[in-house]
Amino acid sequence: MSDFLLQSPDNGDAVPRPCLNVAVVMLRERIDNRWQPWRWSLGDVVPHEDGFGTEPRLLVKSDAEERWLHPGFNVELHLGDAEGYYLNVTTAQPCFWVVWRMQEVAALADEIAVPQIVTLSYHDAGRWLDAQESVEQVPAPPHVVQWMQAFVDQHHVLEAKRRQRPQSFKTLEDRFGNPARVSTDKTLGGGAPRG
């Protein structure tokens, strides 16, 4: 397999977005469970090649596993999500995230795991996880991490840490959010202030 093709396509935007073309390998493994004999998972994200075509295809089939290739995904880097890429490259293991769903494929007359999106953004992955989607990750190769790091270095601006105001200067509020008043006047049993 060749390396990932890094490019900036002319997609009609004022500023072309850097992207790379990938294919996703999904793995179907036999498991020891009488109610669910198979389990789907992400196998790998590989560089896309023209010979892959445009439709999913079965690469390997045995009694223990199946490997399906899903070609034709673009992984784009967006200026507005530079922080999401920053969070990815600063982890111990930067990765690709793949969102996938089970879908009926008419040509196969069976249901298979079909990738929907491939991203390098920590924020994108988090949003999909929050939406209860199936999201899995695989490590990104070093040259993809370097490419993402170069984008982050050019476009990400760390926000300056704001000094936290001391707690003693915060306004007091009652449990309903209304301003509360504290008095230093001492009251006697009946509530009348001392004079």
Which of 104 and 116 is assigned the larger pLDDT?
Answer: 116
The answer to whether 106 and 13 are in contact (CB under 8 A) is: no
d(CA 120, CA 42): 15
Would you say residue 177 lies in a domain? no
Which of 37 and 168 is assigned the larger pLDDT?
Answer: 37
Q: What is the mean pLDDT of residues 35-61?
A: 92
Predicted local confidence at residue 192, as pLDDT: 60
95 Cβ partners below 8 Å, 6+ apart?
A: 88, 120, 137, 138, 139, 140
What pTM value is reported for the model? 0.73
* Residue numbers of the domain that contains 100: 6-155
Would you say residue 20 lies in a domain? yes
d(CA 31, CA 184): 71
- C-alpha angle 101-102-106 in degrees, rounded to nearest 5: 125
- 3-class SS of residue 39: strand
Would you say residue 178 lies in a domain? no
Would you say residue 188 lies in a domain? no
The answer to whether 33 and 84 are in contact (CB under 8 A) is: no
Predicted local confidence at residue 110, as pLDDT: 76
Predicted local confidence at residue 9, as pLDDT: 47
Mean pLDDT of the chain, nearest integer: 84
Would you say residue 42 lies in a domain? yes
pLDDT tens-digit readout, 110-142: 789 999 999 999 999 999 999 999 999 999 999
Would you say residue 167 lies in a domain? no
Would you say residue 181 lies in a domain? no
Number of domains in the chain: 1
Evaluate if residue 2 carries a pLDDT over 60.
Answer: no
Would you say residue 105 lies in a domain? yes
**Beta strands at 6-7 and 95-105: parallel, antiparallel or unpaired:** unpaired
Evaluate if residue 159 carries a pLDDT over 90.
Answer: no
Evaluate if residue 80 carries a pLDDT over 50.
Answer: yes
